[in-house]
Amino acid sequence: MYEAKKLDVTLGIVSLNAYFYEIQKTVNSANFLTWDCEKIAVIPFETNLEKPVSCQVTNGGYCITTMIDSLVKNAKTEWIHIVFAGTYLKKSIDEKYSRYISGYKDILFPVVDRIWNFVDGSINGLMLSKKLHEEVGDFGSGDNLQLTKLIWAHKAIEKGCKFKAIVGGASL
């Protein structure tokens, strides 16, 4: 237990403002990961990038949660690590997260500013499995982010999921 294991991961990049340079900065920082991974960026509906970036880009919603749902649905891998565009990934953060995964029902997120609960915590660095997302369902939209996360977390707990807050899991 707590040994690093190679995971089949997609780096999902949420870009709320569709700035190509922020997306590319995060894609470039993926070189700090231990293992190579697929990269997908999601931008809001009806927006386009000014310049191309070196990853797949999809349009997927008007809010953070619907964009995350879109990323998970477009991922071709078992796991998806979700970060915001402009984030620099910490060196070997994928290896660190892999140490805490014991099954597909694990949901990992970073502890930021000593906030260790999922509802109030950061969504920048969320890692979950595609299979779990399919079982629990979409985050959806229509409410504020905390309420949406609370409703989704309740459904996940009913399915037997475990939320794991990772100290030192936040990217820059």
What would the pLDDT profile of 13-47 be if each residue is shown by its tens digit?
999 999 999 999 999 999 888 888 999 999 999 89
Q: Is the pLDDT of residue 59 over 70?
A: yes
Whether the model clears a pTM of 0.75, i.e. scores above it, the answer is: yes
In this prediction, what percent of the chain has a pLDDT beyond 90? 80
Among the ranges given (77-81, 123-127, 138-142), the one the predictor scored with the smallest mean pLDDT: 138-142
Tell me whether residue 157 is in a domain: yes
**Structural domain of residue 77, as residue ranges?**
9-166
CATH of the domain at 62: 3.90.550.10
Alpha-carbon span 137 to 27, nearest angstrom: 27
Tell me whether residue 101 is in a domain: yes
Question: What does the mean pLDDT of the chain come to?
Answer: 93
In this prediction, what percent of the chain has a pLDDT beyond 70? 99
pLDDT at 60: 87
Tell me whether residue 172 is in a domain: no
Tell me whether residue 100 is in a domain: yes
Domain count across the chain: 1
Question: Two tokens at 36?
Answer: 């190579």
Tell me whether residue 107 is in a domain: yes
Sign of CA dihedral 34, 40, 43, 48: positive
Tell me whether residue 91 is in a domain: yes
pLDDT at 162: 97
